[in-house]
Amino acid sequence: MAVIETPRDPEWIMALRHLWADATPVQRFALILGLVLVLLAVATPLLAPFDPNGQSLLSRLRPPLGFERSKAEYLLGTDELGRDLLSRCLYGLRLTLTLAALGSVIGLCIGGTLGVLAGVAGGRTETAIMAAVDTQIAVPFTLIALFLLTILGNSIEVMVFVLSLDGWEKYARILRGETRRLMQMPFIEAARAAGATPLRIARHHLLPNLASPIVVQFTLSFSSIILLESTLSFLGLGVQPPTATLGAMVGAGRDYMPTQPWIVLAPAVLILIVTFAVQTLGDWLRDRADVRLRPR
């Protein structure tokens, strides 16, 4: 007689299912929107009909489909150099999301390590790390970014570095607090009494408990990094032309706004969609994690 085992879903799938169950329609919509955007960004090379930097001066400044003078192959029209706006928007979205993801992951690695270190080590290490955190919090980050981009020049590597600096201090502050709180819990003391090494305590006892604040902070910092990247690129200080990011496209298209508004509108609307999805998801996760806000 065969024993039939009912397959049990892994814990994280259960958690996701639970999350989905008590989401509002807007939050569900934002989640689907976010997934679609990520898919678009991943599949950009397959989807984009043209080379994003390919110029075709004969068909410059064509309006989107449906307007007078539009050309069937340019769905969203073309810009001042005859580049296809749809392709540029897709590549721009791809680069914007990639930069934000890289920046958030590096920021998490730096800030997370320093925060946990400060929480575990205490003493002078903690004082030094927290002094660095306080200094960075004291200065608006846009200023730091402007300054660094000027002295280091504008390359993609510098951009990733600058973006990763925005947010490390938040991870450090939050994880230090959480670590300190956890270190005083009886189960950590029990593990230590049982002879667990500090590394084992960190891996098996601290990290699982830090996962939730990390996820929440990651979503929040991802959205603030997208904003920062588009703002810097918009001002002409981020990724340099001809490479397309959404912010840079809005910035560069401003000169044509009175007569060819679609050059600005296409990327601007896409930025709105991206920030809406990301911010809604960030708010949702934070509200769920923040016990103080939950009953409201």
Partner 1 sequence: MLRYTAMTLLRMVVTFFVIVTLVFFATRLSGNPIDFVIGQGITEEDRVLLTRYYGLDGSVWTQYLSYLRAFTDGQFGLSFLERRPVAEIVAERIWPSAQLLLTSIALTMVVSIPAGILAAIYRKGWVGSAVMTVAFLGYAVPNFVLATFMVLIFSYVLNWLPVVGNGTARHFVMPTLALSAGLIAALTRFTRNAMLDVLEQDYMRTARAKGLPERLVILKHGLRNASITVLSVLGLQVAALAAAGSVVVESIFAWPGIGDMLVRAALTRDYPVLQFGVLTVAIAVITINTAVDLAYAWADPRLRQTGRT
Would you tell me which residues interact with partner 1 (CB under 8 A)?
Answer: 131, 134-135, 138-143, 146-152, 227, 230-231, 234-237, 247, 250-251, 254, 257-258, 261, 264-265, 268, 271-272, 275-276, 279-280, 283, 296
Q: Which is nearer to partner 1, 79 or 201 (CB)?
A: 79
Q: Which is nearer to partner 1, 106 or 146 (CB)?
A: 146
Q: Chain centroid to CA 11: how far?
A: 25
Ramachandran angles phi, psi of 84, nearest 5°: -70, 120
What are the structure tokens assigned to 194, written together? 């049982």
Q: Chain centroid to CA 248: how far?
A: 17
What are the structure tokens assigned to 135, written together? 């200094």
Contact, 205 vs 189, CB < 8 A? no
Cβ 34 to partner 1, closest distance in Å? 13
Contact, 142 vs 231, CB < 8 A? yes
Cβ 109 to partner 1, closest distance in Å? 22
Cβ 17 to partner 1, closest distance in Å? 26
Cβ 152 to partner 1, closest distance in Å? 6
Q: Which is nearer to partner 1, 130 or 196 (CB)?
A: 130
| Other beta carbons within 10 Å of 215 | 12
What are the structure tokens assigned to 221, written together? 């910092």
Q: Which is nearer to partner 1, 167 or 247 (CB)?
A: 247
Cβ 154 to partner 1, closest distance in Å? 10
Q: Chain centroid to CA 152: how far?
A: 23
Q: Which is nearer to partner 1, 148 or 188 (CB)?
A: 148
